[in-house]
Structures are given as structure tokens and as C-alpha cells.
Chains A and B, each alone.
Chain A
Amino acid sequence: MKTKAIITCLVTAAAIILCSCSSGKAEEKKISSEIFAMDTVMTLTAFGDRAEEAVKAAEDEIYRLEHMFSAEDKSSDIFRLNQKKSIKLNEDTGYLMDKAVKIYKDTGGAYDMTVYPLMKLWGWGTDDHRVPSSDEIKKTLEYVGSDKLTLDSDIIKEEKNQGIDLGGIAKGYTGDRIMNIFREYGITSAIISLGGNVHCLGNKTDGSPWNCGITDPDQPDGEKLLGTVRVTDKAVITSGGYERFFRDEKTGKVYHHIMDPKTGYPAESGLISVTIISRDGTLADGLSTACYVMGKDASVSYWKKHKNEFDMILVSSDKSIYVTPEIEKYWEKT
């Protein structure tokens, strides 16, 4: 009798403790990792029984793709192509270049992967930035234009001096690949940042959408956000002149890194930040650059034709914010 009563007490107590523990804490295993690749810092967080394996597989994939897409890595497809007139493409590079050409055509050339000679001329990717002369820019522009490429199983450049820079979409594609890897491992909740490009898988473990903060272009390192947007299964990618820029010591003028492929100068479209929200991270990455170059009016009319592919948040130099109607209810300004 006595023993039975004590056992009853203990079992009840244990049950209460167990209940309070499991309701208070997320039951799923969380794995986070931070790695340096593609010239930036990346954080990967996944929830689930196989999160550890999934994150490891994602890291391996990042290193594999980095090796393939880098314009500086001497054994990469892109490096070899930039030295030669034509090369045979592997599956990933082929897919990415097809997509790059499609975005180029759709946006009337506002996104163009052949800006590489221009990027080099301005010194992007080095510590040695400079403002080129208008003659140099004019001459370099002759090599810019994805219409001068022929693409099937091989890629053929019209001019040997043409060059490819996949920097504008490679991280978006990498994020898409990681989301697929996570799905293969049965992960249903994950969030990654590839140098500020965010990809969310599913919802948070409590079932609510991921709350993504958008950087205020006026105070990128400040304590205040522009606002937050709640998303499920989306890539959220921002392009802004505040990300990388240099100041010309002679004139004091600031030049940012988003090149207008038509003028050869940093884009001045009246936009200071463009955020694209889409299921397709590669598209989101390419479009964030394209819309930044196109400006607000052209971006809005582009969006009207491609409504079900993406949403966007545009910040103009007068600080006004445009949000596409579909995401207005998920957007909260700070």
C-alpha cells in the first residue's frame, strides 16, 4: 500500500515534469553551422532528426559549387571560359547560364552575366578600385552583352575578351540547391543566410512563418531595420548600393558595385534597395540586380507580367517604400 502510493506520487510527478519540459522546448533537433565560402560568411540552421547530416551535405555542396562558379579559381568552369573562346559546360553551370540568359532577355538586358570585363575595369573583386575614363568604358562595353554568347552543350563567346561573372545569381542557385538537399533529408524547417541572401524552408518549428528583417539602406549596420516580412518556403534577396562601394578620393563621389550593363557605370535608377521574394532563389538573385538597374516604374510593369513568380519591396532615394500588393499583409514597417 505504502509502496504503491509512493510509486503513484513519483509517476505523477515525473509525468508533470515531462509534460512541462516538452511543451516548453522545441522537440526537434537544431543544428547550426557557420562557414566562409564564395567570399562571404554563410550560416545554415536546420531542424529535424537528420539535421546534422543535412547541414554537412549542404556544406559539401557549397564548396563544390564555389569551386565551379568562382571567376578567380583557376580550375573553375568560369575561370577557364574567361581565358578561352569556348568550353563544354557541366550540368550546374549549364543550368545557371541558361537561366542567366533567360533573365537577361526578360529584363531587356538589365541583368547581364557578361559584365565581368566592366567589373574588372572598375576594380571590383580587388582592393584597387578606380573610376575608369569614358573611353575605357566605351571600349569595354563592346564586350558586354549576353546576346554575344551562343549556348547549347557548349558555350561559345563571340569575342575572346568577353567574360562571365555569375556573382549575381550563383548564391541564389546555391541556396536553391541547399533547400533541395534539406528536403531530401526530410528536413521541414530550416533557414540559411548566404552572405545576407536568405532562404527559408517551411515554417519555424512552432508553425509560424519565418520573420525576415530587411536592412535599412540608410543604416545597414545600425540597430534599426527597414521592416520585416513573414515568409514560408521562400528566398528573400536584397540588392543595394550600400553593400559594396568606394569613394573616389579626388572628387569624393561614391561609386557602388551594381553596374548598369548599358552605360558601364554604377546604376542610378532612383532605387537604393531592391528585395525580391520568390520560391526560385536563382530568379530572386538575378531580379534583385535587374530591378535595381531598371528602376521602380520598369520593375513594377515587369512584376505585373510575372506576378505569380515573385514579390518585391523597393526603396527609392526619397525613402518611399513600394511593396507588391500580394505581400502587403505580411510586411511590417519598422
Chain B
Amino acid sequence: METKKKKPRYDFILILILAVAGLGILAFAFLTGGGGASVEVSVDGRIIAVYPLSDNREEVINTPEGKNRLEIKDGRVRVTDADCPDKLCVNQGWISMKGQSVICLPHKLTVKITGEEAPESKGADIVVK
């Protein structure tokens, strides 16, 4: 038979397991949901690119219907140029809040700001327009 004095070590093991598991859960939550906001670009419902909102850059998005030029600057994003007929996407200007989006209907393009509170739009679950 084993002696009694080794028993406290099992408590130690339990605490260790819990601590490691806890850290694991935190890391998982941070990697999947946390961090800064992103710019999600979709064409016809499919996500084709995701950029951090904090990275200043310019990108040209090629869609089957035409091109849109995208600018991310100082935590905001806009469509600067497009060869679509109505240019509504260009006229919309900058967006900066999670849940906001710029849409180019003729090109089936959406540029959406997402993040940990992505499903929330201006503090609501959805926006009626």
C-alpha cells in the first residue's frame, strides 16, 4: 500500500490541470473572438479577404462584375473608386464602426467591419432600413 503523505500532490495535480485548462480557454477565446476589428470583404456572399482595420493599405478588389478600390486608413475604410454604374459604394464614404458595411450591389460586393461584437449593429442585433 502507498503511504498517506503522497496524497496532497493529487490536489496539486488538479490545480495544475485546471490552471492549464483555464489558460487554454482564455487563449482560445482571445484568438477566435478577441483582438481588434477587421475589414471583411465578400463577393456574392463568399468572404474573399480579411484585413486588420488598424493596417493602413490600399487594395483593388476584382469581382466578376468589375473592380472596386479599397482604402483602409486610421481605423476607417472606404471604397475610393469603382467601375460600377451607380458609384453608390464610393459615395457612401468612410465607415469605422463594427457592424457597418459598404455595399456595391452591381458588383455583389460587401465590405464589412467585424470584430468581437460583429453581429451587433450600432448596438442592436440588426438594423431595419
Residues of A within 8 A of B (CB): 1-2, 5-6, 8-10, 12-13, 16-17, 20-21, 33-36, 39-41, 45, 127, 191, 193, 195-198, 204, 210-215, 220-221, 223-225, 228, 236-238, 243, 275
Contacts and interface: CB of A to CB of B under 8 A. Distances in A.
B105 interface: yes
B124 A211 contact: yes
A127 B86 contact: yes
A225 B125 contact: no
A1 B6 CA distance: 11
27 contacts: A8-B10, A9-B14, A17-B25, A34-B45, A34-B110, A40-B105, A41-B110, A45-B119, A127-B86, A196-B128, A198-B128, A212-B124, A212-B126, A212-B128, A213-B123, A213-B124, A213-B126, A213-B127, A213-B128, A214-B127, A220-B129, A228-B123, A236-B128, A238-B128, A238-B129, A243-B129, A275-B128
A212 B125 contact: yes
A41 B103 contact: yes
A35 B108 CA distance: 8
Interface of B: 1-2, 6-7, 10, 13-14, 17-18, 21, 25, 42, 44-45, 85-86, 92-93, 95-97, 100, 103, 105, 108, 110, 119, 121-129
Given A34-B45, A45-B119, A275-B128, 19 more contacts: A1-B1, A2-B6, A9-B14, A10-B17, A13-B18, A16-B21, A20-B25, A21-B25, A40-B105, A195-B129, A198-B126, A198-B127, A198-B128, A212-B125, A215-B129, A221-B93, A223-B96, A223-B97, A225-B122
Residue of A13, A35, A191, A210 with most chain B CB atoms under a 10 A cut-off: A13
Nearest to B9: A5
The 3 A-B pairs with the shortest beta carbon distances in the complex, nearest first, are A196-B129, A213-B124, A34-B45
Contacts of B10: 5-6, 8-9
B45 A35 contact: yes
B108 A36 contact: yes
Given A17-B25, A39-B105, A243-B129, A213 B110 contact: no
Contacts of B125: 191, 204, 210-213
Contacts of A6: 10, 13
A21 B97 CA distance: 29
A2 B2 contact: yes
B44 A36 contact: yes
B15 to A, nearest CB: 10
Contact of B45 (A33, A191, A220, A228): A33
Nearest to A30: B119
Nearest to A5: B10
Nearest to A208: B125
B127 A12 contact: no
Contacts of A12: 14
A41 B129 contact: no
B30 to A, nearest CB: 14
Contacts of A33: 45
Contacts of A221: 92-93, 95
A82 B49 CA distance: 42
Nearest to B42: A34
